[in-house]
């Protein structure tokens, strides 16, 4: 019997999980889970915004290939989710919590997608529908920092999701299953019982002021400077007060997750457990707040814990794109060639390249600077960021962990920079990035790169295994997925 549980929260930095050095939070249940498994220190999201980040986790494809390049956009009609892949092999798949991949508003349509057990589907629209009246719905959206009441634990989204998880575990404890618990918390409005804020007050909690708070932006892209004008003058003390609710809700998430972990132990089952967050939060580092069109570690380097399966070295760079292949390998399901990641169970030699992308924040919103195409590669030490509409970035993370010195034009970094650039371009080709083209290659700092009508001259078909692809020129089955046109 094989069982796996994926637990995810929305908006959590690595320093908000107690198992990581220098953490600002306790999270005892996650700390215990990490002690039983592996807590990766260099785990990265595929995109630092909710919908695109989730799309990569649950399809095994980068957002530029699965259709969710921004919030408010649905998965492509031919794109399979994890439930579809696994349920085809007799594995019961449950998804309880935030989905954000159906193209609806923030709360979704409330409809269970293919592959998942409909009796346990519970996205945010279902949650709102479960509340008593319109007044209760409105209260559920009031930020905890602005409230004077004490929300009931049983009225929160996290608690109601976890209640359903407990019921799922009871029903399928003797079956093969893949269960996802996806909390909206601690994302604002960060609603939680008042006792979690009271506990932080007793500790005189304050968020940490990192060295890159108020960091100079002179050598940074114009998009960073525009963003910083919106938030860069917020007083740190005032911001820290508001964030207290965020961190209180973070501890509430750990409490609710503890209920799930206790249930698993009580049932005597031993599933593989994966824990992560979709992305982090800038929290005034680099004079920025929230998430968006940057690739700083504050929002891209996420917590990732894996227990119950041998997944190797905690220090090697890994990506969310590898999670679905990892689950498939665990269940003994062949990993389709069309997926972009590799199982974490596989050992591979360096470089361990991580790729990230950003296109826009939300399709239904004109803010957040609109269309801002960004592509990034990080090998664990160096990070290259191509900001297509403005200037680019290159960081040495060993010498400069807070990413304050943009060394893009430093002659000492030219070789490493150009090598990463070449591998990034190769990745964009390999994954059929819909936005690929010569403009990513022809950057002002990259000598010898020229525009080309033919670009690489290659045609690239996905290696689909569900149907036979036919060659445009012959009408016969294709023999090679990648070839000269």
pLDDT band at 438 (very low <50, low <70, confident <90, very high): very high
Residue 42 pLDDT > 90 = yes
Domain hosting residue 220, numbered range: 3-347
Both 328 and 360 in one domain: the answer is no
Q: What pLDDT does residue 462 have?
A: 87
Q: Could you give the CA distance from residue 55 to residue 47 in angstroms, rounded to a whole number?
A: 9
Residue 456 pLDDT > 90 = no
State whether residue 424 is helix, strand or coil. Answer: helix
Active site members: 50, 100
Q: How confident is the model over 104-121, as pLDDT tens digits?
A: 999 999 999 999 999 999
Query: In degrees rounded to 5, what are phi and psi of residue 118?
Result: -65, -25
- Domain termination site, one of 347, 382, 407: 347
CB-based contacts of 372, cutoff 8 Å, min separation 6: 223, 292, 293, 358, 359, 360, 387, 389
Q: List, in sequence order, the alpha helices (H) in 268-348.
A: 297-300, 323-331
- Domain termination site, one of 295, 316, 347: 347
Q: How confident is the model over 321-330, as pLDDT tens digits?
A: 999 999 999 9
CATH of the domain at 436: 3.30.1120.10
In a 10 Å sphere around its CB, with 0-12 CB exposed, 13-18 middle and 19+ buried, how is residue 286 labelled?
buried
Q: What pLDDT does residue 465 have?
A: 82
Q: What pLDDT does residue 367 have?
A: 87
Both 328 and 454 in one domain: the answer is no
Please provide the average confidence, as pLDDT, over all residues in the chain.
96
Q: Average pLDDT of 327-336?
A: 98
Candidate from 100-114, 159-173, 224-238, 267-281 with smallest mean pLDDT = 224-238
Q: Average pLDDT of 266-286?
A: 98
Residue 485 pLDDT > 80 = no
CATH of the domain at 201: 3.40.720.10
Token code pair at residue 452: 């080309």
Q: How confident is the model over 195-253, as pLDDT tens digits?
A: 999 999 999 998 999 999 989 998 999 999 999 998 878 898 889 888 999 999 999 99
pLDDT band at 366 (very low <50, low <70, confident <90, very high): confident
**DSSP for 24-72?**
S---HHHHHHHHTEEEESSEE-SSSSHHHHHHHHHHSS-HHHHS-SSBT
Both 169 and 27 in one domain: the answer is yes
401, 229, 190, 398: which is closest to 298 by C-alpha? 401
Total domains in the chain come to 2
In a 10 Å sphere around its CB, with 0-12 CB exposed, 13-18 middle and 19+ buried, how is residue 465 labelled?
exposed
pLDDT band at 125 (very low <50, low <70, confident <90, very high): very high
Both 318 and 366 in one domain: the answer is no
Residue 463 pLDDT > 90 = no
Both 360 and 307 in one domain: the answer is no
State whether residue 402 is helix, strand or coil. Answer: coil
Q: What's the farthest any 2 CA atoms get from each other in the chain? A: 74
* Per-residue buried b or exposed e for 82-113, using 16+ beta carbons within 10 Å of the residue's own CB: bbbbbbeeebbbbbbbbbbbbbbebbbebebb
Residue 153 pLDDT > 80 = yes
First-to-last CA distance in the chain?
Answer: 47
Q: Average pLDDT of 42-50?
A: 98
Q: How confident is the model over 49-88, as pLDDT tens digits?
A: 999 999 999 999 999 999 999 999 999 999 999 999 999 9
Both 418 and 329 in one domain: the answer is no
pLDDT band at 349 (very low <50, low <70, confident <90, very high): confident
pLDDT band at 97 (very low <50, low <70, confident <90, very high): very high
- Domain termination site, one of 298, 313, 347: 347
Candidate from 228-237, 314-323, 332-341, 398-407 with smallest mean pLDDT = 228-237
Q: What pLDDT does residue 238 have?
A: 87
Both 284 and 400 in one domain: the answer is no
Query: In degrees rounded to 5, what are phi and psi of residue 374?
Result: -135, 140
Residue 307 pLDDT > 80 = yes
CB-based contacts of 61, cutoff 8 Å, min separation 6: 55, 79, 321, 338, 339, 340, 431
Both 31 and 124 in one domain: the answer is yes
Q: What pLDDT does residue 62 have?
A: 99
> Count of alpha carbons within 13 Å of 429, Cβ hemisphere only?
19
């Amino acid at each position: 019997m094989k069982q796996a549980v994926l637990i995810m929260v929305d908006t959590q930095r690595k320093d908000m999980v107690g198992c990581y050095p220098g953490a600002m939070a306790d999270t005892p249940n996650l700390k215990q889970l990490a002690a039983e498994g592996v807590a990766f220190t260099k785990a990265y999201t595929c995109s630092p915004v909710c919908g695109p980040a989730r799309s990569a986790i649950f399809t095994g494809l980068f957002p530029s290939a699965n259709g969710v390049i921004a919030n408010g956009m649905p998965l492509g009609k031919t794109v399979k989710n994890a439930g579809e892949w696994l349920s085809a092999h007799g594995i019961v798949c449950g998804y309880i919590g935030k989905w954000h991949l159906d193209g609806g508003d923030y709360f979704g349509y409330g409809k269970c997608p293919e592959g998942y057990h409909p009796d346990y589907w519970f996205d945010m629209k279902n949650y709102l529908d479960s509340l008593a009246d319109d007044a209760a719905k409105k209260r559920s959206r009031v930020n905890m920092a602005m409230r004077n009441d004490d929300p009931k634990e049983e009225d929160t989204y996290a608690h109601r999701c976890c209640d359903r998880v407990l019921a799922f575990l009871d029903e399928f404890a003797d079956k093969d299953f893949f269960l996802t618990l996806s909390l909206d918390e601690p994302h604002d409005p960060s609603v939680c019982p008042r006792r979690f804020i009271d506990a932080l007050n007793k500790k005189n909690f304050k968020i940490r002021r990192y060295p890159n708070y108020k960091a100079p932006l002179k050598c940074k892209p114009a998009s960073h400077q525009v963003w910083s004008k919106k938030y860069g003058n917020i007083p740190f003390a005032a911001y820290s007060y508001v964030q207290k609710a965020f961190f209180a809700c973070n501890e509430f998430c750990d409490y609710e997750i503890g209920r799930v972990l206790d249930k698993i132990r009580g049932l005597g089952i031993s599933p593989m457990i994966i824990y992560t967050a979709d992305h982090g939060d800038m929290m005034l580092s680099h004079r920025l707040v929230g998430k968006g069109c940057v690739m700083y570690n504050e929002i891209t380097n996420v917590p990732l814990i894996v227990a119950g399966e041998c997944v190797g070295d905690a220090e090697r760079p890994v990506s969310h794109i590898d999670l679905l292949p990892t689950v498939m390998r665990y269940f003994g399901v062949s990993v389709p060639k069309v997926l972009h990641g590799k199982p974490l169970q596989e050992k591979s030699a360096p470089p361990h390249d991580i790729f990230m992308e950003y296109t826009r924040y939300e399709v239904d919103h004109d803010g957040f600077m609109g269309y801002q195409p960004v592509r990034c590669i990080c090998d664990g030490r160096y990070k290259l960021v191509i900001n297509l509409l403005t200037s680019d970035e290159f960081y040495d993370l060993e010498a400069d962990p807070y990413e304050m010195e943009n060394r893009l034009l430093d002659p000492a970094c030219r070789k490493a920079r150009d090598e990463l650039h070449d591998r990034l371009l190769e990745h964009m080709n390999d994954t059929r990035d819909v936005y690929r083209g010569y403009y990513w290659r022809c950057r002002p700092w990259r000598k010898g790169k020229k525009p080309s009508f033919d670009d690489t001259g290659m045609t690239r078909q996905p290696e689909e295994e569900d149907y036979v692809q036919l060659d445009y020129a012959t009408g016969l089955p294709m023999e090679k997925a990648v070839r000269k046109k």
